[in-house]
Structure 1
Amino acid sequence: MTKPRAWRSPEKIKRCRPRPVTDAPARIPDSKVGQLDALLHESGVLALIDGELEGRPGPKGLPVRTVLVGLLLALHYHQSASLADVCRVLLDEIRAPARSWLGVPKGSCGDEHARIAFSRRVYRSFDRLTTVLDPHRCDRRRRLPADEARDVAAAWEDTDAERKRRRDLLQEVSDRLVLITVRLAHRRGLFKGWRGDIAADTTPIPAWHQPARERRGLASVELTAGWHYCGGSEEGIFGHSASLLVAASRRHPGGHRQAGERVSRHPQLALGLVLDTPGKRIGPNAVHSLTQLAPFGFPTGLLAADRAYTDQITEHFAQPVRTMGYQLVLDYKQQHRGVQGTHQGALLVDGSLACPAMPDALAHATTGLDDKAVRGIDDSRELRDLITAREPYFLRLKESADERGAVRLQCPASGPSPAVSCPRFNQVHRVPAPRPAVVDLTDKRATAAHSAAKPNVPIPQGERLRPLPKSELPRICQKPTITVRPGDLGKLDKFRQDRHYLHPTWQDVYRPERANIEGLNGRAKSHGIDISDPTKRLAHGRVAQTILLALMICSINLHILFSWQQTTGAQATDALHEVATLIGPAARPPDATGLSPPMEPGIRETT
């Protein structure tokens, strides 16, 4: 066998050998610094922070803008929100023009003493930011005694006006950092194909610090952290809980309507973020994030949520969400499945109001079923048949929800096209017997519309022989139409939903939307920007964790926009090209002159 010529040439062999990676720091293009700086200005976060810091005593130090831009750069290039990485980025990886824009003092890249002094200024600047937003400033470098720690933790729960103002300001900063990416995508028409469907979830954010030591009477450094228990897990995760919303999409029961490869019609961005103590304000946090979406004018579609949200009391979740115009798609715990109660005589069966005479076998089809049986409904033909047989007995929608969220429902035996045949309804409302008519058995529609093809409501034999007075019948049987307003069912209203549980129309929404939110959680906890890795956000305190987590979600949204555009193959029109310039790689390598200082939010790089 003849050897390749490259193998016989020592010079070519040397050129083919892999070269070791250089220790020199990477160079970040000035265009990327300008893009992220403009992003911060446009979000309005800097104006809020500067207004709060104005008039505070002491040296101003580095601008907060410098630290926040450094954090975004560290997340983009190193997937880390550590202040140590911020110092390396600002000193070693950005060029001199960008350092001048951000206010990095000259000479900071000199000897080791100058670098240490600059790093201390970075830490002090971030400390000023967390201090001004903290409802109760305390020593975060040590474990506090339990009594003192309780007083500090109470500052996040009490009704003091100043403390509440700071908590609201911190949440507004977090909202603006997350929603700036949503605003950019919406402005350029990337949500045109979105129906307004949203999935909500609560995910654990582990803390770097250890939990409290009760034996020694010392609290944790993370005073507001707690134990987060995921569904089906008996081991808790010590840290905080993050309530996330994602722009989700449903699937068509018969598959995708468009031929060819299925692609998303919109980027599945994170639409909201609230960091809180585990187990507290789960419903109100989701409602807050939904409220922040109102100025965008998005449509209100379906909202899919897991059992943690179903457990919330009506006033904390279901009622305000319905008032906003969203339709709920929920799951239940094992003890809540089946018949859940009654309202005006109608049975509440798995979140849907049904005929009071629904057969027991259908009403209790899901009673006592565990999660494994519910998830394996595709493999259980018997359960699928029971779920399908339920449908004719549910009350039918007569009028959609009004501005208050009230809906009109009617008896399934009423109307010009009844779904069931009910002797009780015919007796109360004196419905004449239908005249004999010839039916074309080859016409499926005419055959299904005939009364003989509809299920009969099982009325007790004693009532058939001796009908009950009208006053003794359930309310839905006396008058076939009822109005259901938000909160009318009291404690049971948290179970009510707008798709029949486990029906194909319910699975058409719940399964894909839950997959969307779990996909976002998986992307946020992947090998890139991992929000579940506490070593990437080492700053102490809930204020610092909230800001760092909001910056992480902002960076994740930018990556989602860029990858979505590459996956869908969208044409680089003027609007999409501007988004690609903002979120993608640098448009061009840095030149000798650099860019103009991006001091105004409207400035963009020109190509």
Structure 2
Amino acid sequence: MARPAADETAARALRPRVRPGKITKIEDSKVGQLLTLLDRSAVPQQLEELLAGRPGPAGVRPRTVLAGLLLAAYYTGRATIAEAWRILHFRLKPKARTRLGIPAEAPTTARECIAASRRLYRGFDRITTVLDPARCDRRSRLPQDIADAYADAWNVPSGRQAAERLQQLANQLVLTPVRLAHKHGHLRGWRGDVGVDATSIPVLSHPASDRTPTAPVEITAGWHYSGGSGEGTFGYSATFVVAAHRRRPGESAGKPTAYPQMCVGLVLDTPTVRTGRNAVLALEELSELGVPAGTCAADRAYTGCSPENFQIPVRRLGYRLALDYKVNDRGQQGSWQGALLVDGSLACPHMPAALVQATHGLDDKAVREIRDNQQLTEHITAREPHYLKTKQGPDARGAIRLQCPAAGPSPSVNCARRDRLRPRTPRTPGPPSAVVDFSDRRQRAAHPAARPTVQLPQNEWLSPPPADELPRVCSKSDITVPADAAGDLKTAKFRQDSHYLSDDWIAAYKPIRSHNEGIHGRLKGDEIDIGNPKHRPAPGQVAQTFLVALLVTAGNLDILETWLYQRTGTQLTDSVFDNTDPQPPTRPETEPPAQTGRPPPPTTGR
């Protein structure tokens, strides 16, 4: 029976828009590449297992939903169901349609268009529902008390288990192009240095208002404040781990990279919550690829984390830390077994006070413009001989062994206390030669007169104390500093592996941090803009995590293709994707987590 004309007109007004002039067919080869990439991530298979046996209409399979969104992200820079629907039903050729289970003929009537789009929406809704610890109505504002109960469901043990499952699936998507590059040797030039940083992911939802007792639609969103900015962004924080590299001290910038600078880790979460833990989660996923662990550079947001949430686990993963400090944290920060902790490095207990306090109260502008401050540069250089020397690098637990700067065959300072407690045995009999070849730089540096002398207290010259009354760093041959520095929170929190503001620190910290900003600019550019909430309008943390992950996956693939074309003039072929090793087995699966640790609050949501 024919439908009334009014119904057909209303249906045409409601259906997704089709732009006939912009319908260009996508090559089967590119669809096959992206589909193979998606299958290698193993995400569609895991979603099928989670959805098995759930009641209700099945809608479109997760593999088809994710393929449509990935195609939309790759070709339009938008991860929206509407763009995915247009591509799946109007821009694919018959072979690609068959692979994705799409009907051979495109919908022609308004009713067919609505039915096709609703099936796609239903398929995406099933994905977000099964992964949400506490499903609620995401279309309207809830009363604040009910929304708080739903938000708390993310923080109970079952909610954290579900959130970690979600982050693992997102990371599998992001890391699939990285695995592809690693498999074919494109990451050989990467030494394992990484930059960790968080960027804002704004949402379309408005924050809570003081005028109404309702919560925002995004119940787990919050305010993200970028460094140096007093104006916040309402939404989520995305923790990015980017493949980066340090430079040699004094090396100029601008050289082409020997590897594609891809995003190698992503975690989306509420701002200022689990900041350090999210970075560790991404680094743990990265370590399973078998890539080396180099230097990890992070800004002051991560320096301020509790050591057990960031610094300690990162060291135990094998990374060297390069950190920055807040104004009040610069200068002397503590001590460890008698050694002074000065700007993250352990030093001689009698380092001159002027050098210890050289950076005390130093503002951020002075740190950025250190090259223009001659006095500060001289103090930073004068600190070097007083730092403890590494005797043994980190072991499997992240512990290192350090020794006095006056010890060893190549001391950097002269110390009467050290000579008294541990007299030196000359390598050759007789007094040292008084003749020095001034044209030989090594001879000049090795002569005692060229080294600074430690100024001991006056009473020590008159009555030297026994060894057991002296600091351990002076009385023992070396000291051990474990990764957790048990008993000294500041040592575990502030210690780093490059001397702060030295040439080595600048060559490590600043380039890696610039690579972080570069990946943010690349992923928030014109082609792919994860910072535009209209490019990922679906509400909810689960939906936002998946949409951002798909956009970053498309961005990673674009970075790899661009780098390969600029370097060799070639493109990624079908054989490159087909020969990729399958996804390594994931962590042992556990039972699907319960929806929440408490009964869900009553609500009218679907």
Q: Same fold (TM over 0.5)?
A: yes
Percent same amino acid among aligned pairs? Answer: 50
**1:349 is the counterpart of 2:349:** no
| Whole-angstrom CA distance in 2 between matches of 1:411 and 1:134 | 54
CA contact (8 A) 2:243 2:263 kept: yes
Aligned residue number for residue 219 of structure 1: 215
CA contact (8 A) 1:264 1:568 kept: no
Task: Summarize the Cα distance change of 1:427–1:73 in structure 2 as closer, same or farther, 3 Å threshold.
Answer: same
2:187 corresponds, among 183, 191, 198, to 191
Q: Which amino acid is the alignment partner of residue 240 of structure 2?
A: L
Which moves more between the two structures, 57-66 or 22-31? Answer: 22-31
Aligned residue number for residue 323 of structure 2: 330
CA contact (8 A) 1:251 1:512 kept: yes
| Whole-angstrom CA distance in 2 between matches of 1:57 and 1:373 | 62
Which moves more between the two structures, 209-218 or 505-514? Answer: 209-218
Q: Which amino acid is the alignment partner of residue 221 of structure 2?
A: A
CA contact (8 A) 2:183 2:581 kept: no
Q: TM-score, normalised by structure 2?
A: 0.88
Q: Which amino acid is the alignment partner of residue 360 of structure 1?
A: A
The aligned runs of 1:519-534 (5 Å cut-off) are 519-534=518-533
Aligned residue number for residue 7 of structure 1: none
CA contact (8 A) 1:38 1:601 kept: no
User: Which secondary structure state, in structure 1, belongs to the residue aligned with residue 157 of structure 2?
Assistant: coil
**Cα shift at 1:96:** 3.0
**Cα shift at 1:48:** 0.2
Unaligned runs of 5+ in 2: 1-18, 583-606
**Residues 398-448 of structure 1, C-alpha deviations (whole Å, 9 max, x = no match):** 111111111110000111211101122222334589645222222221111
| Whole-angstrom CA distance in 1 between matches of 2:508 and 2:432 | 42
Aligned residue number for residue 145 of structure 1: 143
Q: Which amino acid is the alignment partner of residue 252 of structure 1?
A: R
Aligned residue number for residue 566 of structure 2: 567
**1:181 is the counterpart of 2:177:** yes
| Whole-angstrom CA distance in 2 between matches of 1:401 and 1:168 | 29
**Cα shift at 1:173:** 1.4
**Cα shift at 1:172:** 2.0
**Cα shift at 1:385:** 1.0
The aligned runs of 1:440-455 (5 Å cut-off) are 440-455=437-452
2:55 corresponds, among 41, 44, 57, to 57
Task: Summarize the Cα distance change of 1:551–1:144 in structure 2 as closer, same or farther, 3 Å threshold.
Answer: same
User: Which secondary structure state, in structure 1, belongs to the residue aligned with residue 21 of structure 2?
Assistant: coil
CA contact (8 A) 1:205 1:239 kept: yes
**1:99 is the counterpart of 2:92:** no
1:123 corresponds, among 103, 121, 124, to 121
| Whole-angstrom CA distance in 2 between matches of 1:250 and 1:529 | 27
The aligned runs of 1:411-422 (5 Å cut-off) are 411-422=404-415
| Whole-angstrom CA distance in 1 between matches of 2:250 and 2:507 | 10
Aligned residue number for residue 370 of structure 2: 377
1:428 corresponds, among 417, 421, 437, to 421
CA contact (8 A) 2:561 2:572 kept: no
| Whole-angstrom CA distance in 2 between matches of 1:275 and 1:432 | 59
| Whole-angstrom CA distance in 2 between matches of 1:471 and 1:165 | 50
CA RMSD of aligned residues (A): 2.1
2:436 corresponds, among 432, 435, 439, to 439
CA contact (8 A) 1:185 1:579 kept: no
CA contact (8 A) 2:204 2:533 kept: yes
**Cα shift at 1:254:** 4.0
Aligned residue number for residue 458 of structure 2: 461
CA contact (8 A) 1:412 1:420 kept: yes
Task: Summarize the Cα distance change of 1:519–1:480 in structure 2 as closer, same or farther, 3 Å threshold.
Answer: same
Aligned residue number for residue 201 of structure 2: 205
| Whole-angstrom CA distance in 1 between matches of 2:29 and 2:378 | 60
| Whole-angstrom CA distance in 2 between matches of 1:22 and 1:60 | 30
Aligned residue number for residue 294 of structure 1: 287
2:239 corresponds, among 240, 243, 249, to 243
Aligned residue number for residue 500 of structure 1: 499
**Cα shift at 1:164:** 4.1
Q: Which amino acid is the alignment partner of residue 86 of structure 1?
A: A
1:76 corresponds, among 70, 74, 77, to 74
**1:548 is the counterpart of 2:542:** no
Aligned residue number for residue 587 of structure 1: none
| Whole-angstrom CA distance in 1 between matches of 2:232 and 2:39 | 39
**Cα shift at 1:509:** 0.6
**Cα shift at 1:171:** 1.7
The aligned runs of 1:13-52 (5 Å cut-off) are 23-52=21-50
The aligned runs of 1:237-316 (5 Å cut-off) are 237-255=233-251, 262-316=255-309
Aligned residue number for residue 535 of structure 1: 534
**Cα shift at 1:98:** 2.0
Q: Which amino acid is the alignment partner of residue 148 of structure 2?
A: R
Aligned residue number for residue 515 of structure 2: 516
User: Which secondary structure state, in structure 1, belongs to the residue aligned with residue 231 of structure 2?
Assistant: coil
| Whole-angstrom CA distance in 2 between matches of 1:165 and 1:425 | 54
| Whole-angstrom CA distance in 2 between matches of 1:95 and 1:577 | 21
Aligned residue number for residue 381 of structure 2: 388
| Whole-angstrom CA distance in 1 between matches of 2:310 and 2:205 | 32
Which moves more between the two structures, 520-529 or 485-494? Answer: 485-494
| Whole-angstrom CA distance in 2 between matches of 1:167 and 1:338 | 39
| Whole-angstrom CA distance in 2 between matches of 1:159 and 1:557 | 33
1:484 corresponds, among 477, 481, 485, to 481
| Whole-angstrom CA distance in 1 between matches of 2:524 and 2:572 | 29
The aligned runs of 1:107-118 (5 Å cut-off) are 107-118=105-116
| Whole-angstrom CA distance in 2 between matches of 1:501 and 1:208 | 41
CA contact (8 A) 2:202 2:532 kept: yes
| Whole-angstrom CA distance in 1 between matches of 2:54 and 2:348 | 66
1:169 corresponds, among 162, 165, 189, to 165
| Whole-angstrom CA distance in 2 between matches of 1:155 and 1:121 | 29
CA contact (8 A) 2:58 2:122 kept: no
Which moves more between the two structures, 24-33 or 49-58? Answer: 24-33
| Whole-angstrom CA distance in 1 between matches of 2:115 and 2:79 | 20
**1:472 is the counterpart of 2:465:** no
| Whole-angstrom CA distance in 2 between matches of 1:365 and 1:280 | 34
**Residues 60-87 of structure 1, C-alpha deviations (whole Å, 9 max, x = no match):** 2221222211111111111111111111
Q: Which amino acid is the alignment partner of residue 119 of structure 2?
A: R
| Whole-angstrom CA distance in 2 between matches of 1:512 and 1:39 | 31
| Whole-angstrom CA distance in 2 between matches of 1:498 and 1:397 | 10
| Whole-angstrom CA distance in 2 between matches of 1:22 and 1:542 | 34
CA contact (8 A) 1:41 1:601 kept: no
**Cα shift at 1:370:** 0.5
**Cα shift at 1:150:** 0.8
**Residues 74-115 of structure 1, C-alpha deviations (whole Å, 9 max, x = no match):** 111111111111111122222233223212235542112211
Task: Summarize the Cα distance change of 1:152–1:462 in structure 2 as closer, same or farther, 3 Å threshold.
Answer: same
**Residues 235-283 of structure 1, C-alpha deviations (whole Å, 9 max, x = no match):** 11100001110111111224279xxx83211111111101000001111
| Whole-angstrom CA distance in 2 between matches of 1:507 and 1:168 | 35
| Whole-angstrom CA distance in 2 between matches of 1:552 and 1:77 | 11
User: Which secondary structure state, in structure 2, belongs to the residue aligned with residue 540 of structure 1?
Assistant: coil
Which moves more between the two structures, 453-462 or 335-344? Answer: 453-462
Task: Summarize the Cα distance change of 1:27–1:183 in structure 2 as closer, same or farther, 3 Å threshold.
Answer: same
CA contact (8 A) 1:107 1:114 kept: no
Task: Summarize the Cα distance change of 1:432–1:44 in structure 2 as closer, same or farther, 3 Å threshold.
Answer: closer
**Cα shift at 1:560:** 0.4
1:132 corresponds, among 112, 130, 153, to 130
